Each structure stands twice: as C-alpha cells, then as structure tokens.
Structure 1
Amino acid sequence: MCSSISSYTMKILVLLFILIGLTNSRIYSASIFGYPGSFNVLDYGAAADGITDDSQALLNTWNDACSSSAGSPQVIIPPNMIFLLSPVTLTGPCNSVNIYFVISGSLVSPSSPSVWTGQDSSQWLAFRNVSGLVVDGSGTIDGQGKGWWDQSCRYHPEMEGCTRLAPTALKFILCSQSSISNMYFANSAQTHILIERCNGFNVNNVMIQSPGNSPNTDGIHIQSSQNVAITNSKISSGDDCISIGDYSSNIQIYNIQCGPGHGISIGSLGKGGHSAQVENIHVNTVFFYGTTNGARIKTWQVGRGYVRDVTFENLQFNSVKNPIIIDQNYCDVRGACKEMGTGVKISNVVYQNIYGTSSTDIAINLNCSMSVPCTDITMQLIQLTPATPGRQVKAYCRNANGQEYGIEPGPCLSGV
C-alpha cells in the first residue's frame, strides 16, 4: 500500500513539474488555462525574441478576440518575453461588452525611425473605436525613442530632414468606458499616452519614465475627451507630465508624482485662432520635483473660447521654476507678444493648500490679457518660499481679478 501511495504521489509531482515547466517556458499558451476566451499571441505565431516583428501575430490575436462571442475575451501578452512590434492599430467595435488586453511581457518599438517610412509617423500602438477596453498587467511598453530624439527639430533645427512629428507610444482614440492600469512606459519617441475623443477613461498606477531632456515626451495628453481620471501614477518626462487639450471636460487628476518635466498643463489652447472649450478640471494631491512648471494654464493670445471651473489643490513643489503660472498671451515670438483684442477667457480658477519651494524669483505668475482678463480667481492657503536660502520670491499678477487669503508671496490679485 505504501508503494502504491508513493507511486501515486510521484505521478502527481511529475504532472506538477510538467505544468510548471509549460507555464514558464515559451509554450505559455491560453490552452493551459482551458478558457476559450483567452487569446495568446504565442498561439498566433509570435516569436517573442525581441528581433522578429510580431505585429501581425498581435493583430491576428486581437481580431479573433474582438470578434469572439466569449463574455470577456482576453488578449494575453505573456511574461518574461520581448515582443518587437512595428506600428499597429487595433480597431473595434468588438462583440463583447468588455475586452481585456493583459500585458505581462515587454512590447518594444523598432529603434530606427526608418521603419515608419510611408506610414503614419504620429503613432506606434493604437486602440481605435473600442468600448469596455481594459489594459492591465505588470508589463512594459518601451518606445526606444532615442533615434527620434537625435533627429528632432526642437534640438537640431539645422539638421536637414529633422523630425517634427514622432510616434506616440500608445493612443486611445474614440474609446469609451475604458482603462489602463499597472503598466510601465519608457522612452517614447514623443507623447507616451494619448487619450483622444474618449468618454469615460481611467488611468491608474502607471509609471512613465523618459529623460528630462527628451523632446516633446509628454507623459499623458488628453484631447477632446470627457470624464477622464488619472490617479496614483509617477511620471518623469521631457515635457508635460500631464497636459489637457481643447474640448476636454470633467477631468480628475489625483495623487501624481511629477518630475522631471514641465508640470501639469492646461493647454496650450487656441492656437491659430481656434476656439477652446475646457471646463471642470480638478487637480488634487500632486508632488512636483524639479519641474519647469507646476500648475500651468497656457493659451494663445489669438485664441477664443474658455477655460473655466478649474481647481488646483493640495500641491507640493520642490525646487520648481514656475510653481503657479497662467500665460494668456502666448505667441510664437517669445518676449514680443503684442496685445491682442482676442483671447481665451479664463475664469473660476481655484488655487488652495499649496506649499513648497520655487527655484526662480517669481513663484506666482498670472499673466492675463488686458482685453480678456482672468476673472473669479481664488487663491488661499499658499506658502511658497525660495529653493535657495537667502533669496526672495514674489508674485506677479497682471489683469487677474479675484480674491486671496493667506498667500505668500502676495498680495497679487486685483479685486473686482
């Protein structure tokens, strides 16, 4: 009997070792789990060696998952593997209410810009027209952007054929009730995450990292979208940590670490005389480290429309150049912007419970238009001190009307 039990136990152990080996090997297949709604890129021929282009395998995987009748299909990008992907767009609508895109491995962009020859150079990976999309996992999206940075017109304007438009790492276009969580982004050629024309989108617990001198590498840009939340994330970039573009509303930003980078920006808005419509923006609990800006609103002086109902609260600055800034007179020629009779109307903006240090002399800079002044500005409980001991900081407000309580440096606002 003991021999029989020992033999049975040995069979179980052998079976377990086989299953563990299969799970950790390249045969990391959805069939292991027996769930018909799982679609693994390895089952569609992905090489996962970081050398072979796996974009067609990913596209085929997505198409089957998207058209599946399963309740909540899952696209599986398995761990401990590198998937080289040329530019690819994953489109909907899909048959299911929700579709999961689980990234546990690494998605890597081609390092050479020449791969985009004849293609749309504004994007690398994109989801378009998908509802109920859930992107999750512990994986990495690596834009390998150095090749693009080295030929950027921003830093090399004299270079023949320099690049003005480089790929965004991951775009969400026309998506609704969707989210991305628990991902790591690195070194995008340009913006890391773009949320465009979406309604209902959550970003949670993502880390974005690119060098502070990498050109135009915004962390997250929101454009023409409503009901967006960005929470519990850490962003280091060469441009805005988070930027909010035209026709965006009901945006919640909470518990963000930002730096290096250009801060959290509304704008720029109104370029070329376009009309801006941005409202109901709430930025709460953000830590800025060595950024160019902190809480910024930037509008072109030729623009029209409005920015209204904005709250910046519970912000902390550590050696930030422009902790609080509104520039309503932005133009192409810095320092030579003539007063215009137009402007984007900025109103009902609240700054409260804001502390920290400024690395420049002007800690509060509200440069508003004479023709379209900033109105209903509230500033309360603000304490900004110089990052360098012994220096002084000051506030500069021009055509900015409202009320203030307990601010230092101050006073600043004009009463109405």
Structure 2
Amino acid sequence: MAPHLNIVPSMFVLLLLFISASKVQSDAFDVVAKFGAKADGKTDLSKPFLDAWKEACASVTPSTVVIPKGTYLLSKVNLEGPCKAPIEINVQGTIQAPADPSAFKDPNWVRFYSVENFKMFGGGIFDGQGSIAYEKNTCENREFRLTLCTNALIQDITSKDSKLFHINVFACKNITLERLKIEAPDESPNTDGIHMGKSEGVNIIASDIKTGDDCISIGDGTKNMVIKEITCGPGHGISIGSLGKFQNEEPVEGIKISNCTITNTSNGARIKTWPGEHGGAVSEIHFEDITMNNVSSPILIDQQYCPWNKCKKNEESKVKLSNISFKNIRGTSALPEAIKFICSGSSPCQNVELADIDIKHNGAEPATSQCLNVKPITSGKLNPIPCSGPVPKTPSAIRLKHTNKFNAIVINIFIHII
C-alpha cells in the first residue's frame, strides 16, 4: 500500500506547481499591437521597441516583449536595466540594421546594459546587412552587446551578416548562449561570431557558427567558461586571445572546449598572444573531443601573433601560459604542420599536455609538428609526433645568431692584427 499512498501527495504537489505557474503568467508587450511598430522593412522599430522595453522593465511581475513575425528596420536600441522582475524578448521576426555603415554613429546596434534575469528566444533573425561594410572594409556596428548583465539566456536566435562582432559579451556573469545560428561570408572582416571579455560563467552550447573571423574569441578576464557542441567553419577557429596587446589585462582561466567540429578554417584550437607589449596569464585551458576537417592549423599556440606586422617582432611575449591540454583531437589538416607550439622564450609554456591526437595531412606529405620553448607532456596515440619538425627561429635566436656572427668577425680581425 505504501507505494500507492505516495502517488496522492506527489500528484498534489504537481497540481500546486501547475496552479502556481499559471498564476505567474508573464505580461506581454507586443511592439505591433500595443506600440505601433510596422513590419514593413522601412519604419524604424527603435521607438516602439524601446517603449515596450521600458514598460516591461518597470513591471513588478515577469514580462515579455514580443516582436511578431515580419521584417523590421532597426536603426539602434539601447535596452537598460535593472528591471523590477525577470524579463524576456520573444523575437519571431527579422530585424534588419541599416545597410549603409555611415548610418551608425557609435559601435552598438542592439545593446543590453545592466540587465538581470533576462531571456531572448523565439527563432527570430538579427540581420546586420553587412555586405556594403565588407566591400568598404568599414566596420561600425556590433550585433548584440551584453554589458554588465547577469543570469541571461539567449536561445534559438540567428545572427546574420553582422558588420562587426555578431555577439559581444562584456563584464557579464552567468550567461548561456544556446542553439544559436551565426553566419557571415568567409571573407567578411572582424565578424567574430561570439566575443567575450571580463566575464565569468559563460556557456556556449550547441551552436552553428560560420563567419569570417574567429567563431569564438575569448578576451582577457574570462573565467570558468564552457564551450561545447559547436560547429565552426568557415572562420578562424576557436581562439583564446589575442592577449598581451594592452596594459593591465586580467587573467584568462578555467576554459573548457569540448565536443566541437571545426571545418575549413584557418585555425582550429588556438591560443594567441602578442610579442613584446604587455604581460598577462592564461591557465587551465582544455580542448577535448574535437574533430578537425581540413583545418590549416588544427592545434596552435602562437606567442608571436603579429597581424599586419604591427608588433615588436624582435621581443618575446610577456604573457604566461600554463596548464593547457589538447586531448582526443582527430581529423585532417589542410597544411602539413598540424601541431605548432611557439611559446615565449622569456616565459616558456608550462604543463602543456597532448593526448590521443590523430591528425592526418590531406596532401601527399605526412603531418608534422614543431615546438619552441615548451616540452609537452604526451600520452596515448600521437600523430603527428610532437616536436618532430624543425625548430623555428625566434627573436632571441636571431639576436644570438647575429651576436655570434659579430663575435666571430671581431675575433678574426683580432687574429689578423696579431
């Protein structure tokens, strides 16, 4: 009898939960029905969107801003908190940015600032209309920017053709980005899929990212982050950094990237820091269970990162890297060099681990690897064999070569004089 008696209180509890949930229905603020927005692709959504947000944010009960199906033009909107209760945005339609980059006077298009307990969902599309900006190489717009937000979920949203970063997460805590679709042409400049900095507890899950720069880029101050089930490509892969370019950068630590597939990208699992410049620290970075398909540099630590030759090439990086692992990474490399570790001569990488690596070169040559200023810890099957390639010349090695050559000349002159 005891098992049957337990059914009654259990059902009673479920009934109470259902009744409670029904009483906490969120108030709906429809931008069309209540605030006069027009889904004609011409009328600016900014004022109706902002008015709906302000009323919803002022509500003492949970609220939802609804953007129905249709196409809307949005010049910009700044959505600020704190709000008095949890708030949602149900985006069902397509929201388009002005196509002309000159229409933007600041770097934000859609900005959430100081919002807590926030959710965006609905299957809608944010279309940055970036094609003109790509042609002019003019980047004046970010897709979403979340600043000082806490406990947020962005789910089932598409970001298309952003003029700069699709999503920028800054100084946030406990943010989940799930089932996102991000797309831009592979030649689009600086269109990072998701970029973050100075944030903690960010989760990026089950998302498809195709873009012209890093699928995901992780800046300074990022801590305790999980990235999993991502498909990436085209683009520049999943990157820690770049770091070390600016003063007083905060450490990056506790990042786990797992169960991802990276295809036709210039890089795969990458950490990049600037030579010379400023110090910093990167630790507890773990790449695991990743498939590489025709990736040019599948596994890369680059402490000589120097785009456009705008760096101090003759100096070592001051960023300290430690406790980094690459485990169960398999697939194919577009170039022979599948593993490349170029660490700092003044601050060598510490505790770098390679385990169960199987990356084959797509061409006739076998896959190779090279290492500088690091002795990786290895285990399991390893293809290519770590550190089997030529040792590259570093700034310190070049200086030593020149010094030795100069000394030899001086000695030779001295002998002839004697």
TM-score normalised to structure 1 length: 0.84
Indicate if the aligned counterparts of 2:244 and 2:317 stay in contact, CA closer than 8 A: no
Matched, 1:103 2:91: yes
Q: Distance in 2 between matches of 1:134 and 1:319?
A: 36
Instruction: Single out whichever of 302-311 and 324-333 deviates more from structure 2.
Output: 324-333
Amino acid at match of 1:86: S
1:85 aligns to 2:74 (yes or no): yes
* Identical positions, percent: 38
Indicate if the aligned counterparts of 2:226 and 2:256 stay in contact, CA closer than 8 A. yes
Q: Deviations over 1:107-130 (max 9, x none)?
A: 1111112322xx21x111111110
Using the alignment, how far apart are the partners of 2:376 and 2:292 within structure 1? 23
Q: How does 1:8-407 map to 2 (within 5 A)?
A: 37-42=27-32, 43-70=34-61, 72-79=62-69, 81-96=70-85, 98-116=86-104, 119-120=105-106, 122-152=107-137, 163=138, 165-301=139-275, 302-331=277-306, 334=309, 338-340=313-315, 343-388=318-363, 390-405=364-379, 406-407=381-382
User: What is the rounded CA distance, in whole Å, between the counterparts of 1:334 and 1:407 in structure 2?
Assistant: 34
Match of 1:379, SS state, is strand
- How many angstroms does 1:352 deviate by? 0.4
The one-letter amino acid of 1:324's match is I
Q: Deviations along 1:124-151, whole A, 9 cap, x unmatched?
A: 1111110001011111110001121121
| Residues 54/289 of structure 1: CA separation in 2 closer, same or farther (3 Å cut) | same
Moved more, 136-145 or 266-275: 266-275
Does the CA contact (< 8 Å) of 1:386 and 1:393 recur in 2?
A: yes
Cα distance per residue 1:219-247 (max 9 Å; x no partner): 00011100000000000000000010011
Contact 2:243–2:280 under 8 Å retained in 1: no
Q: Structure 2 CA distance, aligned partners of 1:339 and 1:382?
A: 33
Q: CA deviation at 1:272?
A: 3.5
Take 1:345 and 1:231, find their aligned partners in 2: how far apart are those partners?
Answer: 28
Look up the SS of the partner of 1:271 in the other structure: coil
- Conserved 8 A contact 1:51-1:84: yes
Contact 2:172 2:200 (8 Å CA) reproduced: yes
- The match for 1:25 is none
Greater shift in the superposed pair: 328-337 or 376-385: 328-337
Over the residues paired in the alignment, what is the CA RMSD in angstroms?
A: 1.8
Deviations 1:326-347 (A, max 9, x none): 1112235649854435510000
Counterpart-to-counterpart distance in 2, 1:93 and 1:335:
41
User: Residue 285 of structure 1 contacts residue 313 of structure 1 at CA under 8 Å; is this kept in 2?
Assistant: yes
Deviation, 1:87, is: 1.3
| Conserved 8 A contact 2:304-2:316 | no
Q: Distance in 1 between matches of 2:101 and 2:175?
A: 30
Native 8 Å contact 1:180 1:203 kept in 2: yes
Q: Which segments of 5 or more consecutive residues in structure 1 lack a partner in the other structure? A: 1-34, 153-162
Are the counterparts in 2 of residues 318 and 387 from structure 1 also a CA contact under 8 Å? no
The TM-score normalised by the length of structure 2 is 0.84
The gaps in structure 2 that reach 5 residues or longer are 1-24, 389-418
Provide, for residues 162-198 of structure 1, a one-character-per-residue CA deviation record: whole Å limited to 9, x for no partner. x3x4211111111000010001111000110111110
CA distance in 2, matches of 1:409, 1:56: 58
Aligned residues: 363
Q: Which stretch of structure 1 is more off in the superposition, 143-152 or 272-281?
A: 272-281
Q: Is this contact kept in 1: 2:371–2:386, CA < 8 A?
A: no
Distance 1:254 1:277 in 2: 22
Give the secondary structure class of the aligned counterpart of 2:143.
strand
Q: Deviations over 1:49-100 (max 9, x none)?
A: 1111111111101000001122x10000112x1111001111111010x111
Using the alignment, how far apart are the partners of 2:26 and 2:315 within structure 1? 62
* Post-superposition CA distance 1:9-63 (Å, at most 9, x none): xxxxxxxxxxxxxxxxxxxxxxxxxx77110001101011111111111110100
1:44 partner amino acid:
F
Q: Distance in 1 between matches of 2:278 and 2:263?
A: 31
Cα shift readout 1:259-286 (whole Å, capped 9, x = no counterpart): 0000000000110444341000000011
For the structure 1 residues 350 and 103, does the alpha-carbon distance in structure 2 shift closer, same or farther, using more than 3 Å as the test?
Answer: same
Supply the distance in 1 between the matched residues of 2:271 and 2:250 (Cα, whole angstroms).
12
In the other structure, the counterpart of 1:29 is none
Q: Which amino acid aligns with 1:46?
A: A
Contact 1:339/1:370, CA 8 A, preserved across alignment: no
Q: Which amino acid aligns with 1:103?
A: V
Alpha carbons of structure 1 residues 263 and 36: separation in structure 2 relative to 1, 3 Å: closer
Amino acid at match of 2:240: I
Q: For 1:317, what is the secondary structure of its paired residue? A: strand
Given that residues 29 and 64 in structure 2 are in contact (C-alpha distance below 8 angstroms), is that contact kept between their aligned partners in structure 1? yes
The DSSP-based 3-state class of the residue aligned with 1:132 is: strand
